[in-house]
Structure 1
Amino acid sequence: MAKVLNFGELLLRICPDVEGNWLKNNNLPFYVGGAELNVATALALWGIPSAYLTALPDNTLSAQLLDYIRGLNIDTTAVQHHGDRIGLYYLHQGKDMKNAGVIYDRANSSFATLPTGKIDWEEVFKEVSWFHFSAICPALSQMAANLCLEALQEASARGIYISIDLNYRAKLWKYGKEPLEVLPALVGYCDLVMGNLWAAEKMLGIPVPDYIAVQDKKELYLEQSLKSSTALMGLFPKCKVVANTFRFDYEQGVKYYSTLFTEGHLHVSKEYRSEKIVDKVGSGDCYMAGLIYGFYLRKSAQQSLDFATAAAFSKLFVESDATTVKSEDVQQKAAAYEIIESIH
């Protein structure tokens, strides 16, 4: 079976508690992650041939990390040894990556400084049928943005299916470029685009009326999803699938649903709600993995959407960057939180 190659920066997430007890206890929980590695981990767990391309320094810590990744059944043969440091970020336990409290320590990392012309793409793309990356990659540096473009050109030339997650991280865009100056050229190579309405607005210039969020009505979100998805495909003719997630955090908990637009039809998922969750990090990555899983196995658009949505929601109850919920358990675990009266 052909592999899914996931391309992005490996990160270590450091999790100090909000109260600061880590200082007294000399103890800091951490997790191995990074958006694309989270996708690769979920796919490997679900039995899809999964590979990972990143850059790491050539030292004993990297060797231990690669052993760990291989232990997850992820192919690491494409990993490049380059540079001197692994990216880090700090996030209080239970908080979200978009939270103002996230602290990045990724400048001049091995991945952010990997130049074009270094990777043997002929070798890397052997037996690869799907290439996935996220908008976090070109946010890191101009070198990373250049490398993304090189990777997409090489993948496209080989007829490899390409997907992108439009993750927007405002704190990462610090090298003088705005997302709108970089992302359209990359998305032009993509067959599947996943994100949300506001990421597409910020990164691709597809407008979202202010009243949508003010009125906060599901029917308006779904209507706008159809409009935004149609506009995206009009701007980027290679794109054949657009997915939008809707996760809303309230004092009384979280609600989650998503849409998938393809072949002129907007598919809508079930809606899930919960008063309590465990870890917000990585739910979007799990959703992306769910879409890849569905389309890789040639499931229908609705089946792929339903699995991805349930996978993302079930990830909210897993305390790590990547899911540990097996594919056969995904929809069963989410079913207890389904809202029957959701709009279809």
Structure 2
Amino acid sequence: MAISLAHFGVDSHFVTRLPPNPVGDAALRVLRAEGVGIDAVQRGGERMGIYFVEAGASQRPWSIAYDRAHSAISELDPSSLDWPKLLRDVAWFHTSGITPALGPGPAESTRRAVQAARELGVTVSLDFNYRRMLWSASSAKEVLPSLVRYVDVLFAGEDDLRTFLGIPIPHGALDPASLDLRACETAAARVVSEYGVRQLAITLRENLSASHNGWSALLYDGPSKTLHRGPRHVVHLVDRIGAGDSFVAGLVFAQLDGKPLDQALRFAVAASALKQTIPGDFNRVSVAEVERLGDAEDGGRVRR
């Protein structure tokens, strides 16, 4: 997400912990080369967590294996981070459910971060990003709902709302093939009312096959009590990893840029659709490229 924002021209910084070895050094070089600030990166521990991706095709699904035990970030000491100092002059702070899944230290650090950001008036966003191979639903339920209390913009899915927030939403209500907008709006309004978030964003993926997906999103805005539906893109997948992060980055950028909500959602959906045509985790597209897709200027033609 930080890299995507950097390519949109946003001054973005990454808070993490990397081992003081060649692997950690290489990670820092990549971040620096992509335009991300690394002044808040701690050095310590012995290894950097990794994961392996097996790309799917046609009827064979994508598969991921994690190797994150005993990573540098999993051993993070919450007291080592001065959040009021780190968040000084910051407009927006984003985190995800993956960080607290890595251990007690990262979980407490995340709680302190969102609390400090809220107290300082920094906009806070959270992507649930629940990964069952990293922690159980019961463990996640002990942590995630308490974080939401400090969040302005929440990114979640149907199962997240039901499992972690206790929001009753009919099964399949967010299935793009049979989307129930009234049920979605009712559930979103309850999240806003019961947890105090300002906005709820939900991505909509249609698994036509492992190689072709439909892609869209919904955005509910609490202050205006309006539900916005983004355009639908059919994507031939090159790499689906990073789609959610690029959607978050697109929505964050568009709102920082002052775009109306309909335009902000259109931009975010277009940015994340383009990411899925790019190999690797990073979305390196520019604002102009996203806006061309959002305005349907290119249509897949060769640009000369």
Instruction: Tell me the TM-score normalized by structure 1.
Output: 0.79
Is 1:226 matched up with 2:226? Answer: no
1:155-304 equivalence runs, <5 A: 155-173=117-135, 177-210=138-171, 212=173, 216-218=177-179, 220=180, 222-237=181-196, 239-251=197-209, 253-262=212-221, 263-274=224-235, 276-304=236-264
Q: Tell me how large the CA RMSD over aligned residues is.
A: 2.1
- Give 1:122 deviation, angstroms: 3.4
Shift of 1:106: 0.4
Please tell me whether the aligned partners of residues 18 and 47 of structure 2 are also in contact (alpha carbons under 8 angstroms). Answer: yes
Distance 1:292 1:211, change over 3 A: closer
Amino acid aligned to 1:225: C
Q: Is the 8 A contact 1:82 1:110 kept in 2?
A: yes
State which of 33, 51, 66 in structure 2 corresponds to 1:89.
51
**Structure 2 residue matching 1:202: 3-state secondary structure:** helix
Alignment of 1:1-344 (within 5 A): 39-94=1-56, 101-173=63-135, 177-210=138-171, 212=173, 216-218=177-179, 220=180, 222-237=181-196, 239-251=197-209, 253-262=212-221, 263-274=224-235, 276-333=236-293, 335=296
Query: How far, CA to CA, are the matches of 2:267 and 2:154 in structure 1?
Result: 17
Q: Identify the range of structure 1 (113-122 vs 40-49) with the bigger mean alpha-carbon deviation.
A: 113-122
Instruction: Write the distance in 1 (CA, Å) between the matches of 2:178 and 2:110.
Output: 37
| 1:127-182 deviation line (CA, Å, top 9, x unaligned) | 212110011111121222111111112222211110011211111105x9522221
Q: Deviations over 1:70-123 (max 9, x none)?
A: 11111110111121110111111347xxx6731110012111110211112233
AA partner of residue 274 (structure 2) = S
Asked if 2 retains the 8 angstrom alpha-carbon contact of 1:94 and 1:278, the reply is no
How far apart are the structure 2 equivalents of 1:213 and 1:240? 20
1:241-262 Cα deviation digits (max 9, x unpaired): 1111101111383111111111
Q: Secondary structure at the match of 1:323?
A: coil
Take 2:76 and 2:267, find their aligned partners in 1: how far apart are those partners?
35
Which one-letter code corresponds to 1:85 in the other structure?
A: R
Give percent identity, aligned residues only. 30
My pick for the range that moved more, 283-292 or 265-274, is 265-274
CA distance in structure 1 between the aligned counterparts of 2:172 and 2:150, rounded to whole angstroms:
32
TM (norm. structure 2) is 0.89
- CA deviations over 1:236-285 (Å, ceiling 9, x no partner): 12x111111101111383111111111200111111124x2211100110
SS of residue paired to 1:184: helix
- The answer for unaligned runs of 5 or more in structure 2 is none
Contact preservation (8 Å) 1:87, 1:105: yes
Q: Number of aligned residue pairs: give it.
A: 292
Q: Which runs of 5+ in 1 are unaligned?
A: 1-38, 339-344
Paired amino acid for 2:253? Y
**More moved, 189-198 vs 42-51:** 189-198
SS at match of 1:305: helix
1:212 & 1:316 partners in 2: Cα distance?
25
- CA distance 1:154–1:213, change in 2 (3 Å): closer
